[in-house]
Amino acid sequence: MSDILHELFGLAGKTAVVTGGAKGIGAMISRALVRAGVHVLVIGRSAHQGEDFVASLEGPGQAEFLAHDLSTMAGVQAAAADVAERAPAVHLLVNNAGAFSASPVEAADPARWDAEMALNLRAPFFLTQGLLPSMRAAVRPGDPARIINIGSFGALWGKSNNGAYAYGATKAAIHQLTKMLASDLTASGINVNAIAPGYFPSDMTDGFFSAVPGLKDMVVASIPAGRLGTDQDMAGAVIFLASRAGAYVSGTILPLEGAAWQA
């Protein structure tokens, strides 16, 4: 890597936590960070799949899988304690784990509503709270620790996304929490930003697309960039926000959606 790329985008030797980091968008992020030389602590529920995933990653970094259910407060606290035991300092926290459902207003289910609020909204906030000491330990002059929350382009517009009411509300709230946390934490060396992805391939979008025949083609046709997001699109945004290049960026919601929101 040339000097300027190394200076601006190098991440080697840092430690990151990626929730939901063994599948979909989280896996794209974990894979990129390990290739950039980062020690990645991947959190998710599915232990076997998670272990297989981290074993498949190619360095120079390394990854460990931590099995925790972030939909409960006990799970969030156990995850924070586990991270603190394994890593003295956390340079990057990516709050990515999330769940999606959609239904007509009349069919919305309160239990499902609570589950999405717990995983998509409560977990990122309280995992952030639990990891603050580890993140403060990573802060260096001119090199803040970073939190990246994964929001959604669906929370940038007013459409119902086929009735994804709880999901959309959690994602709009994550965008707001991102700005509020940035206003409180940036002065002490922790930058907080969100990425608002458009459509990326994952179990979540597979479920969404398979619910309506032809929907995937219609969605792709509606995206001005003419395609879904890729590993490289996600990796580029995360590496920018996590590296020296993004050290002066805090409180931003970065749309990553090929202009789908504007369409």
Ligand X SMILES: NC(=O)c1ccc[n+]([C@@H]2O[C@H](COP(=O)([O-])OP(=O)(O)OC[C@H]3O[C@@H](n4cnc5c(N)ncnc54)[C@H](OP(=O)(O)O)[C@@H]3O)[C@@H](O)[C@H]2O)c1
Q: What are the catalytic residues?
A: 167
Residue 152 contacts ligand X per CB under 6 A: yes
Closer by beta carbon to ligand X, 56 or else 188: 56
Residue 122 contacts ligand X per CB under 6 A: no
Q: Which stretch binds ligand X (CB under 6 A): 5-13, 14-22, 176-184, 211-219?
A: 14-22
Residue 11 contacts ligand X per CB under 6 A: no
Q: How far is CA 17 from the centre of its chain?
A: 10
Closer by beta carbon to ligand X, 24 or else 144: 24
Residue 130 contacts ligand X per CB under 6 A: no
CB of 23 to ligand X, least distance (A): 4
Encoded one letter per residue, x for contact with ligand X by CB under 6 A and - for no contact, window 37-76 reads -------xxx----------------------xxx-----
Residue 143 contacts ligand X per CB under 6 A: no
3-class SS letters over the chain? CCHHHHHHHCCCCCEEEEECCCCHHHHHHHHHHHHCCCEEEEEECCHHHHHHHHHHCCCCCEEEEEECCCCCHHHHHHHHHHHHHHCCCCCEEEECCCCCCCCCHHHCCHHHHHHHHHHHHHHHHHHHHHHHHHHHCCCECCECEEEEEECCHHHCCCCCCCCCHHHHHHHHHHHHHHHHHHHHHHHHCEEEEEEEECCCCCHHHHHHHHCCCCHHHHHHHHCCCCCCCCHHHHHHHHHHHHCHHHCCCCCCEEEECCCCCCC
Closer by beta carbon to ligand X, 144 or else 167: 167
Closer by beta carbon to ligand X, 33 or else 144: 33
Chain residues 195-234 in contact with ligand X, contact rule CB under 6 A = 197, 199-200, 202-205
Binding residue for ligand X, selected from 16, 25, 34, 63, defined by CB under 6 A: 25
CB of 162 to ligand X, least distance (A): 14
C-alpha to C-alpha distance for 79 and 85, rounded to whole angstroms: 10
Interacting residues with ligand X (CB under 6 A): 19-20, 22-26, 44-46, 69-71, 96-100, 119, 150, 152, 197, 199-200, 202-205
